[in-house]
């Protein structure tokens, strides 16, 4: 079957693809590594990014839950529930997220002002799984993906910037359930320079990366009520530490 690579720079070409998937861990009970970090697995295949999730690769993958409170209060099941799947090819990590949210709200449509208080996904990626601080550096990326698909993170100069060419997103929402399909390009944070040409990494089986996923839920308030993630939050402060501590992430392995 023909296969096409998603280009995050300008134009996306899509086609179905056949692939082999060997799920390694049940989505409801992820394994942990020797350091106690949750393990997640992405299977090889290239989905069509149209928001439908109608692909053989997704059918073969396990669901992982989004159910850990990172910040705020725990929402009830009628307010929020979430789960996701992971796939990859040489050019991209692919994320399928199914989010039930009874009210979608974007109070900052300009995208760079308090974007974390809007409804949206967060994807945390540490390319070399090295852990450590990434408060104002690219040791890891924290992508905030808004309802309109804009992608935001904080740069080393402490300025909020768009990183739209890092993530390509298609979202369809029906009766309170949003299906997000995303292609994420992976960059070497040690070499990444803002306002310069950066070449994404080519991915191979066996690669391990720091990874976490979360959803910020705002039910028409000045600030979000909840931030719900996929790994336990061991931070005791009033807010999530995942945006600045890559050691809090789980480990994603490409199978």
Instruction: Indicate whether 181 pLDDT > 80.
Output: yes
Q: Binning pLDDT at 50, 70 and 90, where does residue 237 land?
A: low
Structural domains of the chain, ranges and CATH numbers in brackets: 39-254 (2.60.40.1190)
Residue 137 has pLDDT above 90, yes or no: yes
pLDDT for residue 117 is more than 70 = yes
Average pLDDT over residues 114-143: 94
3-state SS assignment for residue 117: helix
CA distance 81 to 103: 12
pTM to 2 decimal places: 0.86
Q: Which of 65-74, 104-113, 212-221, 246-255 has the lowest mean pLDDT?
A: 104-113
Question: Is the separation of the CB atoms in 131 and 113 below 8 Å?
Answer: no
Is residue 4 predicted with pLDDT exceeding 50? no
214: closest CA among 175, 183, 241? 241
pLDDT recorded at residue 18: 32
CA distance 177 to 135: 32
Q: Where are the beta strands (DSSP E) in the chain?
A: 39-44, 64-66, 68-72, 80-88, 93-101, 120-126, 141-146, 151-154, 160-162, 167-174, 177-184, 208-217, 226-229, 250-254
**CA–CA separation, 249 and 124 (whole Å):** 8
- Token match 């705020």: residue? 72
Query: Rounded distance, CA 68 to CA 3, Å?
Result: 36
- pLDDT surpassing 80 at residue 112: yes
Q: What pLDDT digit, counting tens, does each position of 44-98 carry?
A: 999 999 999 999 999 999 999 999 999 999 999 889 999 999 999 999 999 999 9
31: Cα separation from own chain's centroid: 19
What does the alpha-carbon distance between residue 37 and residue 45 come to, in Å, rounded to a whole number? 25
């Amino acid at each position: 079957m023909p296969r096409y690579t998603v280009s995050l720079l300008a134009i996306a070409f899509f086609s179905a693809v056949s692939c082999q998937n060997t799920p390694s861990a049940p989505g409801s009970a992820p394994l942990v590594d020797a350091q106690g970090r949750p393990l997640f697995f992405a299977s090889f295949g290239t989905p069509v990014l149209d928001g439908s999730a109608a692909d053989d690769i997704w059918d073969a993958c396990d669901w992982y839950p989004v159910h850990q409170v990172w910040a705020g209060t725990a929402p009830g099941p009628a307010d929020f529930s979430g789960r996701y799947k992971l796939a990859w090819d040489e050019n991209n990590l692919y994320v399928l997220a199914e989010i039930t949210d009874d009210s979608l709200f974007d109070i900052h449509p300009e995208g760079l002002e308090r974007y974390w208080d809007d409804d949206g996904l967060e994807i945390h990626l540490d390319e070399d799984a090295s852990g450590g601080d990434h408060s104002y550096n690219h040791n890891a990326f924290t992508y905030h993906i808004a309802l309109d698909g804009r992608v935001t993170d904080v740069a080393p100069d402490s300025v909020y910037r768009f990183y739209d060419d890092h993530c390509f997103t298609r979202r369809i929402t029906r009766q309170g359930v949003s299906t997000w399909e995303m292609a994420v390009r992976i960059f070497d944070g040690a070499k990444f320079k803002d306002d310069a040409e950066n070449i994404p990494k080519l991915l191979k089986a066996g690669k391990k990366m720091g990874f976490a996923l979360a959803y910020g839920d705002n039910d028409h308030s000045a600030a979000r009520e909840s931030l719900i993630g996929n790994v336990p939050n061991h931070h005791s402060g009033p807010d999530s530490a995942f945006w600045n501590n890559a050691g809090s992430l789980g480990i994603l392995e490409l199978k």
